[in-house]
Chain A
Amino acid sequence: MGDLRIEKSNRPPLGLDEVEKTMQKFIPVDKLARPENHILVPLEDIQQARIDQKLLPFNAMPYEDDFLKGRLHGICAGEFQAMEAAGRSLFDFPDAPWEFQLDMARQVWDESRHAEIYMKLLEYVGSYLGEFPESEVLWSCTQVDDPACRVAGINRGLEGLACDVFEQIIRLAQKMGDPVIERAVDYVLADEITHVRMGSQWMRKLTEGDPARLKKAQDFQANIDTLFNFGGGRTSQEDARQIPQRLAEKEIQFDATLTIAKEARLLAGFTEEEIERIVRAASRSAAY
Chain B
Amino acid sequence: MPELGNRANVMGPQPIAQRSPVPAAMTAAAEQVLKLIESGDRAGLEAMAFERARADASALAQGVQPGMYDEHEIVAQARANQHYYIKARIIGPGAAPILIQIRLGEHEGRWVIFESKNLTGRRSAWTK
Interface residues of A (CB under 8 A from B): 30-42, 45-46, 48-50, 52-53, 55, 60, 64, 66, 68-69, 123-128, 130-133, 136, 178, 180, 248
Contacts and interface: CB of A to CB of B under 8 A. Distances in A.
Contacts of B77: 39, 130
Interface in B85-100: 85, 87, 99
B81 A33 contact: no
B79 to A, nearest CB: 6
Contacts of B101: 39, 41
B73 to A, nearest CB: 11
A31 B115 contact: no
Contact of B83 (A53, A60, A64): A53
A69 B17 CA distance: 10
Contact of A36 (B50, B75, B83, B105): B75
Contacts of B24: none
A70 to B, nearest CB: 8
A39 B99 CA distance: 12
Contact of A123 (B15, B76, B103, B127): B15
Most chain A CB neighbours (cut-off 10 Å) among B80, B105, B124:
B80
B76 A39 contact: yes
A45 B115 contact: yes
24 contacts: A31-B123, A34-B125, A34-B127, A36-B76, A36-B87, A37-B87, A39-B101, A40-B124, A40-B126, A41-B126, A45-B103, A46-B80, A49-B103, A52-B50, A53-B80, A53-B105, A60-B81, A69-B17, A69-B20, A126-B16, A126-B17, A126-B20, A131-B79, A133-B80
A30 B128 contact: yes
Most buried by B among A31, A38, A180: A38
A135 to B, nearest CB: 9
Contact of B114 (A39, A40, A42, A49): A49
Contacts of A39: 76-78, 85, 87, 101, 125
Nearest to A248: B16
A34 B16 CA distance: 30
B79 A125 contact: no
A49 B80 contact: yes
Interface of B: 13, 15-20, 50, 75-83, 85, 87, 99, 101, 103, 105, 114-115, 123-128
B79 A50 contact: no
Contact of A38 (B16, B19, B124): B124
A49 B81 contact: yes
B18 to A, nearest CB: 5
The 3 closest A-B pairs by CB, nearest first: A126-B17, A49-B80, A40-B125
A32 to B, nearest CB: 6
Contacts of B127: 30-34, 40
A35 B125 CA distance: 8
A161 to B, nearest CB: 21
B19 A127 contact: yes
B49 to A, nearest CB: 13
Nearest to B81: A53
A124 B78 contact: no
A38 B105 CA distance: 19
A60 B20 CA distance: 16
A60 B123 CA distance: 28
A38 B79 contact: no
Contacts of A53: 80-83, 105
B75 to A, nearest CB: 5
A22 B72 CA distance: 36
Contacts of A132: 78-80
B126 A52 contact: no
Q: Which of B20, B81, B82 has the most CB of A within 10 A?
A: B81
A32 B125 CA distance: 10
